[in-house]
Chains A and B, each alone.
Chain A
């Protein structure tokens, strides 16, 4: 609750928070099916209908309502983005902390594996995993998660190494604090800020990668809607029916903006130096 209030009190946090909040609501509506029309019903008569009172964002080549498909697509894309980033953040944090804390061979082994993963372009690696495991929502989640794990590992390992050499860690050792205490209280707690920023950034990337996978036909399978799939379908019609491209494009752009603004705000809010002393 306190964090929510702090976000609303923060300049860019307010904008980011509202954008992300609205998206979340739309995503839930899309997931439970509370859309103006059924997203997969084809209104053949109204094919490629321009935006109007009946179809707020127009219809596509098959006469499906773009607004409804967009809502369902946001739900679909957000699900994939959230779960994949959660996967990546968790795996990356554990691996990064282990590499930094255990050092030596562990560090070498973990980081070399991450280097190998990073050597592949993100979309190519995701494609590889999806091709092997077969397309589907949960394969996308795992694929995108694996793709972004090395980034989290690196983001965690660097600061963790420098924190490990700080005097308060030395001080903790002189009291005989256990490794788990030092790692969680002294390392992890100080990593919250970079991790939060990274999570919001990664959410934005994950949305894009999901869109990319769907665009290539390996993510969400038609006739289900997803942002990438809608962009992909609009490709050949951008001159006759620009709304097919504009609305999903804007949706992706604004969501990424929202996450980035929210990330900046969270970084400020989570820094105790910015916190006012309790009166």
Chain B
């Protein structure tokens, strides 16, 4: 039987001389009807380019297919050559036979059209439906991706829906014409873990219902376990290994696959937490950071002249303390207030109420001028592209009134060496460094002022898994060496398990559960903590079905003068308390 899609020796290049500048270098695979192929690789491995070549969208991205063959079996059984197809022919194929969903649902939809009209467009173009028929079809499509209250949602514009809902809409559009092949390019990367779990469950279910084939592209090898039949691992534009799911995950042959599987943080339900640097119970040490009743509210005004009618309660009564040498992880989903908490601690947003006290004593007993420093999520955005590394590292010193003298230069050199960057880095510019190296630079910059607390706001989330593992190692080493206290903000439970001593779970601006890492991860009590833990993808979870839970995070907008009821806490262990759910 001929496969649905047969790719042989695909080569894709970019630029003026595509042959010399190949990004995909000879990729071959077959995809049978109803089968799911997962393409796994790190950024720059050519996985997205491969996928975009299949429906020839790569032509619009400046790429040229320089060699190979691509054949698609059409619904009527004829073989269609995707390589030699003309643009009008391809327009008929895209959407009708090959559907595609992208990474960013927020930017893939047109913000000024209702989602209804955007779904109808697909039906109008490929099935010739008009008017009421198209509307009915769109409503069915929304029902199919389990969006509750579909008829009403058709009239919504994208800004009225959450990221997870929008990705459902994208899936609905992609599936509108019952394509026989769905290409999903990192469809859950931009989404929260619990939403990711829902989307993965939905995709798995839809695949069973409709018997379509799927190409699922991801950088997270942990995700493929739940959905793929076959896995292809890509590195530097070549498929280094491909085979059945179980074979790849259990018996990887290629060193790169082994490396990937090793580097991906496996979530172990609290069994892999850190043993070092535990809190010393009886030493009455002064906390490096103590946050007491932190409240951050943003007033809402409908227009310039009117009075505030309500407020966004971004952070609503958060307190914790952080000992020197300790990592407190703050976990939660986007919009839960975890980043706002960090920014308030750093003084980047003004807190409405509450107090912090920061110990200015550092491990080396010097007093630091700025004891709290931060490392940001995106290493590409947090370094000024026009400054040399030397100027970047000098900035904190200049900012605190210091001079760039031999002592400062010596400190720069030693910190660069400490974070594992070459000595000649000082005269270079940020763009000459990779993402992981830039994050090391950010860490070095944060350490220039000898801080006692470092806030790591999703500091490893933007990095590839193998780089991520190394940066985490570096962070742990630095913590031991300098006695740093980390406030580690993350949504990734597996990473948190690696680095945290204590965990605070934050939900709708409030801490719902806090305690030592082992206890929180192994015996979660609060329903939200349980939900977060259940959503973590792991490679041990072969074809396990996620339950679809479409509950949304409650609105944080409260009427003017609203005060939350005081929290009731339940003690679960020596260092583990949970907010009593109402």
Contacts and interface: CB of A to CB of B under 8 A. Distances in A.
A181 B387 CA distance: 13
A190 B348 contact: no
B130 interface: no
Interface string A167-178: 110111111111
Given A174-B346, A174-B370, A177-B398, A273 B391 contact: no
B432 interface: yes
A175 B445 CA distance: 10
A44 to B, nearest CB: 60
Interface in B379-419: 381-387, 391, 395-396, 398-400
B429 interface: yes
B391 A185 contact: yes
A185 B384 contact: yes
A173 B381 CA distance: 15
Contacts of A172: 395, 399
- Chain A interface, DSSP helix/strand/loop, else mixed: helix
Interface in A163-215: 166-168, 170-178, 181, 185-186, 189-190, 192
A278 interface: yes
A275 interface: yes
Interface in B432-461: 432, 442, 445, 449
B393 to A, nearest CB: 11
Interface string B348-379: 10000000000000000000011011101110
B374 A174 contact: yes
Interface string B87-107: 000000000000000000000
A177 B386 contact: no
Of A175, A176, A181, A273, most buried by chain B (CB within 10 Å of CB) is A175
A175 B395 contact: yes
A176 to B, nearest CB: 5
A89 B431 CA distance: 29
26 contacts: A166-B382, A167-B376, A167-B378, A168-B382, A168-B384, A170-B348, A171-B374, A171-B376, A171-B445, A172-B399, A173-B347, A175-B449, A176-B369, A176-B400, A177-B396, A177-B399, A181-B399, A185-B384, A185-B391, A189-B384, A189-B386, A190-B385, A272-B386, A272-B431, A273-B385, A275-B429
B440 to A, nearest CB: 15
Contacts of A174: 346-348, 370, 372-374
Contacts of A189: 384, 386-387
Given A189-B386, A190-B384, A192-B386, A170 B376 contact: yes
Contacts, number: 75
- Chain B interface, DSSP helix/strand/loop, else mixed: loop
Contacts of B395: 172, 175, 177, 181, 185
B207 to A, nearest CB: 38
Contacts of A277: 428, 432
B427 interface: yes
Contacts of A178: 399
A273 B395 CA distance: 21
B460 to A, nearest CB: 15
Contacts of A181: 395, 398-399
Pairs of residues from A and B, 4 with the lowest C-beta to C-beta distance, nearest first: A167-B382, A177-B399, A175-B396, A175-B399
A167 B429 contact: no
Contacts of A170: 348, 374, 376, 382
Contact of A171 (B372, B382, B429): B382
Of B348, B391, B399, B400, most buried by chain A (CB within 10 Å of CB) is B399
A174 B387 CA distance: 18
A166 B384 CA distance: 9
Given A273-B431, A277-B428, A175 B384 contact: no
Given A174-B370, A178-B399, A277-B432, A168 B383 contact: yes
Contacts of B376: 167, 170-171
Interface in A65-116: none
Interface string B417-429: 0000000000111
Nearest to B343: A170
A272 B387 CA distance: 9
Given A167-B378, A171-B445, A190-B385, 5 more contacts: A167-B376, A171-B374, A171-B442, A177-B396, A272-B429
Nearest to A275: B429
Contacts of A177: 395-396, 398-399
Interface string A111-141: 0000000000000000000000000000000
Nearest to A192: B386
Contacts of A190: 384-386
Contacts of A173: 346-348
A175 B385 contact: no
Given A170-B376, A174-B370, A272 B399 contact: no
Nearest to B384: A168
Contact of A176 (B370, B378, B429): B370
Contacts of B347: 173-174
B386 A175 contact: no
B332 to A, nearest CB: 20
Contacts of B385: 190, 272-273
Nearest to B448: A175
Contact of B381 (A166, A275, A278): A166
A168 B381 contact: yes
Contacts of A175: 370, 373, 395-396, 399-400, 449
A175 B449 CA distance: 8
B399 A167 contact: no
Contacts of B377: 167
A217 B316 CA distance: 69
A166 B385 CA distance: 11
A174 B448 CA distance: 12
B150 to A, nearest CB: 36
A190 B384 CA distance: 8
Interface string A48-63: 0000000000000000
Nearest to A186: B384
Nearest to A171: B382
Nearest to A166: B381
Nearest to A274: B431
A170 B375 CA distance: 10
A166 B430 CA distance: 15
A278 B382 contact: no
A176 B449 CA distance: 11
Interface string A151-172: 0000000000000001110111
Given A168-B383, A177-B399, A185-B391, A278 B427 contact: yes
Contacts of B442: 171
Interface in A230-279: 272-273, 275, 277-278
Nearest to A169: B384
B345 to A, nearest CB: 10
Contacts of B369: 176
Contacts of A166: 381-382
A174 B375 CA distance: 10
